[in-house]
Amino acid sequence: MKRTKRWSGLILACCFYIVASAQSDSMNFTLQKCIETAIRNNLTIKQTEWQMRTGKVTMDEAKANLLPYVSGNISHGMNRGRNIDPFTNSYVNQQITFANYGLNGSMILWNAGSNRNALTASREAYEAGRMDVQQAKENITINVILAYLQVVNNEEQLLQATRQTDVTRQQLKRLDILNNGGAIAPATYYDMKGQLASDEINELNIRGALESSKLVLAELMNVPYSSSIQLAPVEINSLPEKAEEHLQQVYDAASKQLAVIKAADLRIASAQAGYRSALGQRLPSLYVSTGLGTNYSSAASTAQLVSSTDVPTSDYVTVNGNKLPVFTTQRTYNDSKINYINQFTNNFNSSLSVGIRVPILNGGQARGRIELSKIDIERANFQALTTRNQLQQQIEQAILNKSLAYDKLAKLTQQVNDFTASFKAAEIRFSAGVGSIVEYVIAKNNLDRANSNLIAARYEYLVRNKIMDYYLGRPLF
């Protein structure tokens, strides 16, 4: 019994370890895993993919319009009383079962390119939908990178705040001993205690910001939020040097490779093809039609000759004054039903025709389509122009932000070096008892604030470089 309990406990412990390991692995994310998860789960991407698939169906329908239209019909029925025999087209007064079979086809030979232009319009619209999907993926990639870097930035900020709190806590322990021995003024001790509370509050605020940034990242990935999410660190020890980007250079590169620009141009081409298709609907169209058919009737029968005899009639002819009777041949027939297979073969018929369909009055539909297609062209052109203007403005802002971020990083780096030297001097003076608590707290706060700003500036400069890489078509990770 003891051995059984021992094995049961061991198995249960192994199960808990496996579950805990699986949960731990599922909460560990690299930047690439975050992006892949977001692309797989993001609602916006799903919606654009559904729209693209709808465009694919529309394009397939436009392709099918170029193919012949073929339909078949089969009907079986029964008539009672006086009706028309479908076999003889004569009236009969009996119950008849009948069947009709038909196969019909038609094809437009020429309609001024209306169908072909409609296919072109739907194809360009489908390609624009594909570009929309790509753009949605690029947008979510950028957003995930920014959210990921924000989380890593807050983690480093929290680490820095924890170090600041530890330094203050160590000083407070030293002052606690001196205060108990009456070696310092009580105000010095309580000032340091208040500084520790300020540092702990700052650490608490940063911890809240960290969890909020994790929540934003979880929302982008469309996964449940968990405070145990762990992100792989980002190496930012070697930040790229400042590079002079020119607006026209970046704009030319972005306009050639960004999906949003390609989608706008494709929609212009789609609208223009739609206009040509609408124009074609006002012209005549040439078509060919063909058909095959047969039928069956239960009343269909055939007469077979059984015998023939000569019988006198009431008529006569006079020969030499003598009346001679007139004979006629009387034939006897045996009616028999025509079987199903024979009727199917015997009644087979076919047709072929060529015609021209001329639109004369169709309630203004053709004219309305033309006007709507003109509006579509205007809309597509304006949207493309607006998209390019917005892109240029965004690039101008990105170049400015990157330049400012670099200059800010350089200034803060120098500031941290200066405040580090100032804090070391103040710490030595304070530890030696020749410096005041006010001098020490001011120097420490200046250094803490500068370190925090420097961390934020490093990540900001990294973000600005990633945005510029996006416009230039460089790998983002």
Virtual CA dihedral for 85, 86, 89, 90, nearest 10 degrees?
Answer: 0
End-to-end CA distance of the chain: 58
How confident is the model over 126-135, as a mean pLDDT? 96
CA torsion sign for 22, 27, 33, 37 is positive
C-alpha distance from residue 67 to each of 108, 109, 123, 274, 356 (Å): 8, 10, 17, 19, 18
Q: What is the pLDDT of residue 327?
A: 78
Distance CA(467)–CA(404), nearest Å, equals: 14
Residue pair 265/356 in contact (Cβ under 8 Å)? The answer is: no
Q: What is the pLDDT of residue 118?
A: 94
Numbers of helices and strands, H then E, in the chain: 10, 10
Least confident residue range of 167-171, 239-243, 339-343: 239-243
Segment 309-316 mean pLDDT:
81
Return d(Cα 40, Cα 34) in angstroms, integer: 10
Q: Which of 89, 91, 80, 87 is nearest to 297 (CA)?
A: 87
CA–CA separation, 418 and 331 (whole Å) = 134
The domains found in the chain, sorted by start residue, are: 30-67+112-283+365-477 (1.20.1600.10)
Of 252, 260, 258, nearest to 387 by C-alpha is: 260
Once rounded to an integer, what is the mean pLDDT over residues 196-217?
A: 94
DSSP 94: S
Q: 185-206 pLDDT, tens per residue? A: 888 888 889 989 999 999 999 9
How many CB atoms sit inside 10 A of residue 300's CB? 21
| Residue 341: predicted pLDDT | 86
Model confidence at 210, in pLDDT bands (50, 70, 90)? very high
Q: What percentage of the chain carries pLDDT values higher than 70?
A: 92
Interval 13-45: pLDDT, tens? 444 443 344 344 456 889 999 999 999 999 999
Do 96 and 299 meet the contact criterion of CB atoms below 8 Å apart?
yes
| Per-residue pLDDT reduced to its tens digit, 443-467 | 889 999 999 999 999 999 989 988 9
For residue 238, what pLDDT is reported?
63
Average pLDDT score over residue span 387-392: 96
Task: Compare 239 and 37 and report the one with higher pLDDT.
Answer: 37
At residue 152, the pLDDT reads: 92
Nearest to 165 by CA among 210, 128, 125, 201: 201
Residue 236: what pLDDT?
A: 67
Q: What is the pLDDT of residue 86?
A: 65
Tokens of 227: 């405070």
Mean pLDDT score across all residues of the chain = 87
- State pTM to two decimals: 0.78
Report whether 129 contacts 262 (CB < 8 A): no
Per cent of the chain over pLDDT 90 is 55
| Strand, helix or coil for residue 425 | helix
Mean pLDDT on 274-287: 92
| Selection from 241, 245, 372, 297 nearest residue 97 by Cα | 297
- HSE of 404, CA atoms in CB hemisphere, 13 A: 7
